[in-house]
A = this chain, B = another copy of it.
Amino acid sequence: MPDRKRNPEIPIRTAVANEDGIDFTLIELFFFAYRDFTSDPDEMLADYGFGRAHHRVLHFVNRRPGLTVAELLEVLKITKQSLARVLKQLIDTGHIVQLQGPRDRRQRELYPTAKGRALALALARPQSRRIHTALQDAGAGDRAFVEDFLKAMVNPELRTQIDASPRNQE
């Protein structure tokens, strides 16, 4: 065994590549892919003084108009204090409006305005284009498989939420 007193830190010079059958290639690709996937809207958001968090809120309010604050927190898995900052900005800038819940007046239903809808579409456009191009560039295989794969990557208990969004069926 190595002399830890003299060589407390022995450098490992071999690259990790398949130990224990771990798929480092896909792990790494997922990181690169997601980073570039978010880079397009990130740049656009900077012009508005918004960040990625604003994008997420805007996205889900457009996908599920009328969802309550509590529902939005549940989908995003963040705290209300985190949401408050970005939601306030989106309301102040006229991208989102709040309506008092019809049944329960404590609730605040969130809706996009025309401005908010337009921004959501503008942000999604380059992302959708990237996905579409990638599907074409990738070899044999179809969009349905990617959808199934990504859905299977999500924690089972959250897959119900996914189905709460309107389908993209054609």
Contact = CB atoms under 8 A, between A and B. Distances in A.
B22 A121 contact: yes
Interface string A143-158: 1111111111111001
**Copies of the polypeptide in the assembly:** 2
Given A13-B65, A166-B15, A26 B153 contact: no
A74 B19 CA distance: 26
A13 B147 contact: no
B65 A28 contact: no
Contact of A143 (B26, B97, B161): B26
A138 interface: yes
A167 B25 CA distance: 7
Interface string A22-36: 111111111111111
A81 B117 CA distance: 38
Q: Which 10 A-B pairs have the closest CB atoms?
A: A141-B145, A11-B111, A134-B152, A25-B168, A138-B148, A33-B153, A29-B150, A137-B152, A17-B166, A138-B149
